[in-house]
Structure 1
Amino acid sequence: MSGARLPNFVFLGPDKTGSTWLHAALSRHPLVYLAPGKDLHFFDRYFDRGVEWYAAQFRGAGPRHRIVGEIGTRYLYARRAAERIHRTVPDARLMVCVRDPVKRAFSSFLYLRRQGKNVGTFAEVLDTTPVILDRCRYATHLQQYLSRFGQDRIYLGVFDDLQKDPQRYLDGVTTWLSLDPIGLPPEILKPQLPASQARSRRLGRFVSRTARKARNRGLTLAVTRVKDSAVVQRTLYRPLAEDRPQLTAQDAERIRAELDPEIRRLEELFGVDLRQRWGWA
């Protein structure tokens, strides 16, 4: 692996917290090189491909790049990711972005519908798919990283801040990475695509299976480009109509009741006030 560069920055996730935006924004910094394909899944799915394969994903990094990184979405809660990351890049800096679990869980529900899955109501999904809430147990999942890397090597972003002021959010990340700030162009500041669903359930399932097979064959960059294409998105998906599912107060309260101890613990670990800003207190 002579001359190969491994990342010194890894975004751990979770999904539904602006990872695609972060990849696009950070990639514009002249001193940052990110693996072109988001979600390499090396530390959860493809670790058996070896470090040589992983290093090859960053072959475009040059001497001027002070930060070489990967944007992932599943490492936060993947079973062996923390141990593997620490073994492979023990000096890396890590980032996590947390989102109100109520909104994140509902966003995950809409994503399942987008894939064409007949999942029933949100309340039914909370019963049948416990992983949706398990992935919001931020403090529990972070503990495996805190014990290995220490708190000073982990940056905690909050999704609300990204939504409110993208430029300020990015400035916080670049400052933490010891980089000068950069201004964001209009195309990075534009609104995200509206919530959508597959034009048919069969199409949604086909797209999901095809993307998974492409990643298994090492075509991560191709998957990323297709997912980011507005033309492809308009072709495969349609905006949710007036009958879009609505989050009920009962479902929201159920999530808060279950995860309140988790969020309190996260507040203590990082000295932040999340319950107040999320309207939980």
Structure 2
Amino acid sequence: MSNKVKARLKKIIRQRLPVNDPNFMVIGSQKCGTSSLHYYLNQHASLVGSDPKEVHFFDRDIHFGKQLSEYRKHFRGRRDRLHFESSPSYIYSPQTASRIYETYPEIKFIVTFRDPVKRAYSAWNHYRQLFEKDKNTFQNRRRREGNLLCDKFFTGRQQFPSFRECIDIELELIEKGEGVEPALLRRGLYLQQLQTYWQFFEPGQLLILGFKDLVSDTEKTLNRVCEFIGVSQMDWSTIDREPRNVRDYTAPMLETDKQYLEAFFAEPNQALFERIGPLNW
């Protein structure tokens, strides 16, 4: 049986399974290991990840009129399993927390944070690769109001802007108070994003992880997740732990850009650590 036939058969079988509500969500942040975390958790016998991994209902689809009944179809499977999705934009999107609360006020969240300087450079590299691979497809995606990413980084360009040029573009938008995207910098202002969720959810409903812990101490970190969501711990050495969405870089970040961003994030990072404690990110 070919892989194509197997995939089609698997899809047919899945469509016959009951729909569910999610029990927890991995909500971000972007470029902080959410793809790997989703893939690891989906190998636990008691957990079922959504199809696709990033549903984007509460920050995108609901904005374009989709209904909860359509959302629940992404969680097909046995009712005695815990179901989850991983949409890394949920932590950043301004209205997402309130929208989730209206439907799932008791739900739990998992958040992964990475050094915001490294996160910004990783995001820039991701957009650069998308531009070089197929800029037209990326530009034609549906976008919510305030998403100026394509307008500022993609449209009318023959070459993707440098990291520093992208930083300067966003700094100008920040000064003008315009747009939610592009957000190489603003996605790294983590405390602001947590405070949005704390307006609706108890702090105990959020498990906050450091990116380096997920990478270097994977088994312990995954068992922290298991304890948090209420499933049995397991021997994670038996699963496929190949990292997901790893991208190559054409060059390291310039030292001048690194120093600038370290200064930019110094105060917000300190405020974050004072509130939640240090993170191994």
TM-score range normalised by the length of the shorter chain: 0.7 to 0.9
One-letter amino acid matched to 1:11: V
Aligned to 1:23: 38
Q: 1:57 to 1:194 in 2, by over 3 A?
A: closer
Q: Is 1:273 aligned to 2:278, yes or no?
A: yes
Instruction: Report the Cα offset of residue 195 of structure 1.
Output: 2.5
> Which secondary structure state, in structure 1, belongs to the residue aligned with residue 188 of structure 2?
coil
- Cα distance in 2 between the residues matched to 1:33 and 1:152: 23
**Greater displacement, 8-17 / 260-269:** 260-269
Q: Note the residue ranges of structure 2 that are not aligned, 5 or more in a row.
A: 1-17, 133-153, 172-182
Contact 1:13 1:96 in 2 (8 A): yes
Q: Is 1:86 aligned to 2:101, yes or no?
A: yes
Aligned to 2:71: 54
Contact 1:44 1:75 in 2 (8 A): yes
> Which secondary structure state, in structure 1, belongs to the residue aligned with residue 260 of structure 2?
helix
Q: What is the TM-score normalised by the length of structure 1? A: 0.74
1:11-160 equivalence runs, <5 A: 11-47=26-62, 48-60=65-77, 62-65=78-81, 67-115=82-130, 116=132, 118-130=159-171, 131-160=183-212
One-letter amino acid matched to 1:105: A
Instruction: Report the Cα offset of residue 187 of structure 1.
Output: 6.2
Contact 2:43 2:239 in 1 (8 A): no
Q: What is the TM-score normalised by the length of structure 2? A: 0.74
Percent identical pairs in the alignment equals 27
Aligned to 1:177: 229
**Greater displacement, 116-125 / 48-57:** 116-125
- Deviation above 6 Å: which 4+ runs of structure 1? none
Q: 1:52 to 1:109 in 2, by over 3 A?
A: same
Q: 1:53 to 1:191 in 2, by over 3 A?
A: closer
Contact 1:21 1:188 in 2 (8 A): no
- Cα distance in 2 between the residues matched to 1:53 and 1:109: 32
Q: Note the residue ranges of structure 1 that are not aligned, 5 or more in a row.
A: 197-239
